[in-house]
A = this chain, B = another copy of it.
Amino acid sequence: MEPQQQPNEENGSSGKEGFVCRQSSTRWTPTTEQIRILKELYYNNGVRSPSADQIQRISARLRQYGKIEGKNVFYWFQNHKARERQKKRFNTTTTTDHHVPMQRPNAAANGNNSKLYPTITPGYSSSSNGVLTVGQIGNYGYGSSSGGTSYVFFDKKRFIGEDDYDV
Interface residues, chain A, with chain B CB atoms under 8 Å away: 52, 55-56, 59, 69-71, 73-74, 85-87, 89-91, 93-94, 100, 102, 131, 138-144, 146-162, 164-167
Contacts and interface: CB of A to CB of B under 8 A. Distances in A.
B152 A162 contact: no
B148 A86 contact: no
A4 to B, nearest CB: 13
Given A148-B142, A151-B153, A156-B155, A71 B87 contact: yes
Nearest to A88: B52
Given A52-B90, A142-B147, 16 more contacts: A71-B90, A71-B159, A74-B90, A100-B141, A102-B138, A102-B140, A142-B143, A142-B149, A148-B148, A148-B152, A149-B151, A151-B153, A151-B154, A157-B165, A157-B166, A158-B160
